[in-house]
Structure 1
Amino acid sequence: MGDTGFAFFDDWDSIIIGGGIVGCFAALRLARARQRVLIVEGDFVGSAQSGRNLGFIRKQGRDLRELDLAREAGEAWQALAEQSGSDFGFRRDGNMALADDDDLAGRFEIWAREAQARGLDTRVLTPAEAVELVPGLKIGFKSALYTASDAKADPFPATCAAYEAARAAGAQIITGRRVDEILTEGGRATGVRIGNRRLRAKAVICTAGAGTGRLLRRLGITFPQDVIRATVVRTAAPDGTDFPALAPELSRPGIWGLNIGVRQSVDGSLHMSNAGGVYVPGLRSLGSLRWFLPLFLEKRHQLSIDWLGPLAFWRRFGDQAGYPSAAPHRDHPDPSPRFMREAFDELAQMFPDYAAKARILNLWSGDIENTPDLLPAVGPVAKVGNLLVGSGFSGHGFGVGPAAGEALAEIALGDQARDSLSELSPDRFANGTWSRGEFAL
């Protein structure tokens, strides 16, 4: 997918670092504005978390500070589905969250009121109402939060569709080459360096995912970032036919809560992932400890620490993923057997009839890059002019990334920043204005 050589101009209007969802939507918006735009992707398009997530496109449960961005992103996904002619599984089938205790049920009530005040179609359901929507749901729960306008899609094909649209509009791409440095002169970004090659640009848009922190730190920009490795399992329930022998409709809405997220794809396969994941310590851990220790302690029951991870390249068996389930990834991040088992245990409580005969089709993992407040950083940075950042999506990138990419492109074109970015500035960590959200679920 895309080009791997260097048969390109040296001068660009915008260079985008990263070929994931944010970068591809930024490139699409810029190319349609007749800008000369280049994406530089270190691996393959969508090979990182953009193509390896669970596939929720939800507003429900978001921190209220990113709610407008999530709303805009849903519209951007729908527009891409309608305009591209590509069926990447986009469906507005709703999203449902389950509460298994009174405390969470109470928080659902609060979030629903806040959402309704902002015009969302969110409502709290009784268990009977939830089971009416998802008849196979067996687990006991107190209440459910339901947003009918939320959506879902298959991540890797969806990211590819965004890239193909950008390419058709005129964007170009380098794949398999990582940006080594963002070049600056006189306090402004002037381009990027890839090996010995220097490419110039009027604007640099850094959407490098887990690689963003490395690039920004070289410029003296404070950007705390750390990574959790999440596992996704794709299953099917055999019905006596040959592969893909997939389940009948089990749940149209995406479901999350009770420590698991579940999405049924348009092909019938069921995708599931546990909350949390594997933390692989590294040199970055020393620098991020002061930022992430409170969050780590709060979420410790959802984490597994792989102390040997940095030395364990020799034991990597690679992920068992194939198109269209997840993107190829040259580093072959290992799925977690523990989280796979726990996902099946949760699934057996939620859909026991299905789980009793389900088999694994694929499993894979991806690195979720987080910020200390679990909110994305989207916009310009004060320290370096002409540099825009879209990173730190903290597991929300598939749901809010398209709007973030479009918003960054608009700033590069000289437009006023969207109101939806007002509390998502990358500078909030340097100036001490960041905080954890009060209403996020």
Structure 2
Amino acid sequence: MGPPVDPVPAAGGIPQSADVVIIGGGIIGVSTALFLARRGVSVVLCEKGHVAGEQSSRNWGWCRRMGRDPRELPLVVEALKLWDGMEQTVGEDVGFRRSGILYLSETDTDIAHNQDWLRRAGDFALDSRIIEGRELAALLPGGQRGYKAALYTESDGRAEPQKAAPAIAKAAQRAGAKIVQNCAVRSIERQAGRVSGVVTEQGTIRATAVVIAGGAWSSRLCADLGLRMPQLTVRASVMRTAPVEGGPDGAAWANGYAYRKRLDGGYTIADGRTNYHDIVPASFRFLGDFLPLLKGNWRDVGLRFGTPFLNGHAGLLPATGGEQSVYEANRTLDPAPDAKLLQRARSNMEAVFPFLKGVPLVQRWAGYIDATPDAVPVIAPVESVPGLVISTGFSGHGFGIGPAAGRLVADLVTGDTPLVDPKPFRYERFIDGTRHRPTTGV
């Protein structure tokens, strides 16, 4: 069971038409709805479950620029600006704090890796730097173990995943967007090759533009249109503790654990490195696309067979069948967390921060990260299907980048000047022979 998410008021039934239909109520979808509605665009967002029910509420809550692929950095910079004003934008505190993030280094190899990122980031490195000694120790209060160095970005921050997307959704509603929950989109319709609307479980909505922001479901939605969208999911486990006094205030990654201080005073803890990919038919279909990632960034991703191969969100079941679609049969993806992995991560963290010993465990959960072969998202119109825009494949970076991604999608839909150059995020790079590979292992 996922963490408790702030509720979003239910809307009435679906309208017959809208300018834009957004599929997916994660942080990308609701941010897109907010920026479109503020421009006077008629927008309907359809979410098969509830807002932020999947990865948008299950992630670590990091809002970071540090360690990101250089292609993402301009968008991340804009996202952090939007996070700065988020409380004013949505009218409530979503926990955003520029409390800093650390990548803790144990070896010279770790330090060299971080220095390499600083070189590649160039001017976008901004205040990121290597720190050590007393300066580093001061950022780890309660720590009983020293680290050789760390890559540190003071201006990076954190926010509360269970609060942020719902708050943005409510702001979008106040701006005029219609957000319909428990309403799965079964298919996207076309006329003369162009998007003409969507068919939902509640009926048809006519529209001249459709945005696929379905997270782990996006590849399947694209396949229903005959579009090849290479995307696989990674199952990541997370836990949270009860509030505890003292300890570091920000967030950090180390070999064996990662943490974020929560607004409620507890900690979100994860392994930081090891995750799992549940093998599904798409694993074989996209194997060639993901081979570079398997040799690099996915070396610590375990492969597992199980029931998802047959009836999971990317399994063998058809998109529609009988009286309900696969989207309705899976209102909220809720994979089981790896309890042993999380206990190991907590034990690793307790070895460094003994004050955590005895602090109650409140909850464990898992979620599916939607990954692309180069670990960079698709945020783009589809040339072969006029009126269709895809925003997916954020590869574990979607929460922090979400507000700016939504703003960019709104720009692409309306034809306004894009917030940043959208070329690095184009869909066609995955079908035109472009060699794609991640440029960072962080």
Please report how far the alpha carbon of residue 289 of structure 1 lies from its aligned counterpart in structure 2 after TM superposition: 2.0
* Alpha carbons of structure 1 residues 253 and 168: separation in structure 2 relative to 1, 3 Å: same
Equivalent position to 1:268, from 265, 268, 271? 265
Is 1:150 the counterpart of 2:148 in the alignment? no
Maintained 8 Å contact 2:193/2:385: yes
Please report how far the alpha carbon of residue 335 of structure 1 lies from its aligned counterpart in structure 2 after TM superposition: 1.0
Please report how far the alpha carbon of residue 267 of structure 1 lies from its aligned counterpart in structure 2 after TM superposition: 1.5
Equivalent position to 2:117, from 111, 124, 127? 111
Where does residue 45 of structure 2 map in the other structure? 39
Where does residue 337 of structure 1 map in the other structure? 339
Question: What is the distance in 2 between the residues matched to 1:8 and 1:77?
Answer: 31
Question: What is the distance in 2 between the residues matched to 1:263 and 1:85?
Answer: 24
Query: What's the secondary structure of 1:16's corresponding residue?
Result: strand
Maintained 8 Å contact 1:115/1:122: no
Maintained 8 Å contact 2:142/2:247: yes
Per-residue CA deviations over 1:19-57 (Å, capped at 9, x if unaligned) read 010111110001111111100001110001011100000
Amino acid at match of 1:296: L
* Alpha carbons of structure 1 residues 346 and 283: separation in structure 2 relative to 1, 3 Å: same
Maintained 8 Å contact 1:228/1:369: yes
Maintained 8 Å contact 1:112/1:124: no
Please report how far the alpha carbon of residue 284 of structure 1 lies from its aligned counterpart in structure 2 after TM superposition: 2.3
Per-residue CA deviations over 1:317-339 (Å, capped at 9, x if unaligned) read xxxxxxxxxxx974432111132
Per-residue CA deviations over 1:206-255 (Å, capped at 9, x if unaligned) read 1000111011122222210111111111013xxxxxxxxx2113112210
Where does residue 214 of structure 2 map in the other structure? 208
Maintained 8 Å contact 2:14/2:205: no
Where does residue 250 of structure 1 map in the other structure? 247
Question: What is the distance in 2 between the residues matched to 1:135 and 1:421?
Answer: 41
Query: What's the secondary structure of 2:19's corresponding residue?
Result: strand
Amino acid at match of 2:346: F
* Alpha carbons of structure 1 residues 187 and 350: separation in structure 2 relative to 1, 3 Å: farther
* Alpha carbons of structure 1 residues 440 and 286: separation in structure 2 relative to 1, 3 Å: closer
Where does residue 349 of structure 2 map in the other structure? 347
How do residues 426-437 of structure 1 correspond to structure 2 at under 5 angstroms? Answer: 426-437=427-438
* Alpha carbons of structure 1 residues 69 and 249: separation in structure 2 relative to 1, 3 Å: farther
Where does residue 282 of structure 2 map in the other structure? 284
Stretch of structure 1 that moved more, 286-295 or 31-40: 286-295
Question: What is the distance in 1 between the residues matched to 2:309 and 2:386?
Answer: 39
Question: What is the distance in 2 between the residues matched to 1:194 and 1:333?
Answer: 25
Query: What's the secondary structure of 2:344's corresponding residue?
Result: helix
Maintained 8 Å contact 1:259/1:346: yes
* Alpha carbons of structure 1 residues 192 and 338: separation in structure 2 relative to 1, 3 Å: same
Maintained 8 Å contact 2:339/2:364: no
Maintained 8 Å contact 1:210/1:368: yes
Q: Kindly, what percent of the aligned residue pairs are identical?
A: 34
* Alpha carbons of structure 1 residues 116 and 299: separation in structure 2 relative to 1, 3 Å: closer
Stretch of structure 1 that moved more, 107-116 or 332-341: 107-116
Question: What is the distance in 1 between the residues matched to 2:248 and 2:116?
Answer: 26
Where does residue 304 of structure 2 map in the other structure? 306
Question: What is the distance in 1 between the residues matched to 2:9 and 2:92?
Answer: 21
Maintained 8 Å contact 1:249/1:268: no
C-alpha RMSD of matched pairs (Å): 2.3
Maintained 8 Å contact 1:3/1:174: no
How do residues 31-430 of structure 1 correspond to structure 2 at under 5 angstroms? Answer: 31-115=37-121, 117-118=123-124, 120-195=126-201, 197-236=203-242, 246-274=243-271, 275-298=273-296, 302-310=300-308, 330-351=332-353, 353-430=354-431
* Alpha carbons of structure 1 residues 40 and 349: separation in structure 2 relative to 1, 3 Å: same
Question: What is the distance in 1 between the residues matched to 2:214 and 2:74?
Answer: 23
Query: What's the secondary structure of 1:373's corresponding residue?
Result: coil
Question: What is the distance in 1 between the residues matched to 2:358 and 2:100?
Answer: 26
How many residue pairs match? The answer is 418
Please report how far the alpha carbon of residue 197 of structure 1 lies from its aligned counterpart in structure 2 after TM superposition: 2.0
* Alpha carbons of structure 1 residues 42 and 106: separation in structure 2 relative to 1, 3 Å: same
Where does residue 239 of structure 1 map in the other structure? none
* Alpha carbons of structure 1 residues 290 and 439: separation in structure 2 relative to 1, 3 Å: closer
Is 1:16 the counterpart of 2:18 in the alignment? no
Please report how far the alpha carbon of residue 74 of structure 1 lies from its aligned counterpart in structure 2 after TM superposition: 1.1
* Alpha carbons of structure 1 residues 91 and 189: separation in structure 2 relative to 1, 3 Å: same
Stretch of structure 1 that moved more, 391-400 or 197-206: 197-206
Question: What is the distance in 1 between the residues matched to 2:103 and 2:11?
Answer: 46
Question: What is the distance in 2 between the residues matched to 1:432 and 1:207?
Answer: 24
Question: What is the distance in 2 between the residues matched to 1:154 and 1:138?
Answer: 28
Question: What is the distance in 1 between the residues matched to 2:301 and 2:116?
Answer: 28
Please report how far the alpha carbon of residue 2 of structure 1 lies from its aligned counterpart in structure 2 after TM superposition: 4.9
Per-residue CA deviations over 1:244-295 (Å, capped at 9, x if unaligned) read xx21131122101314320011211000112232222222222122222342
Maintained 8 Å contact 2:118/2:125: no
* Alpha carbons of structure 1 residues 430 and 387: separation in structure 2 relative to 1, 3 Å: same
Where does residue 35 of structure 2 map in the other structure? 29
Query: What's the secondary structure of 2:152's corresponding residue?
Result: strand
Where does residue 3 of structure 2 map in the other structure? none
Where does residue 326 of structure 2 map in the other structure? none
Query: What's the secondary structure of 2:376's corresponding residue?
Result: coil
Structure 1 spans left out of the alignment, 5+ residues? 237-245, 314-327
Question: What is the distance in 2 between the residues matched to 1:268 and 1:68?
Answer: 32
Per-residue CA deviations over 1:393-412 (Å, capped at 9, x if unaligned) read 00000111111111101111
Per-residue CA deviations over 1:77-113 (Å, capped at 9, x if unaligned) read 2222223231121111111111222122012123224
Question: What is the distance in 1 between the residues matched to 2:274 and 2:432?
Answer: 29
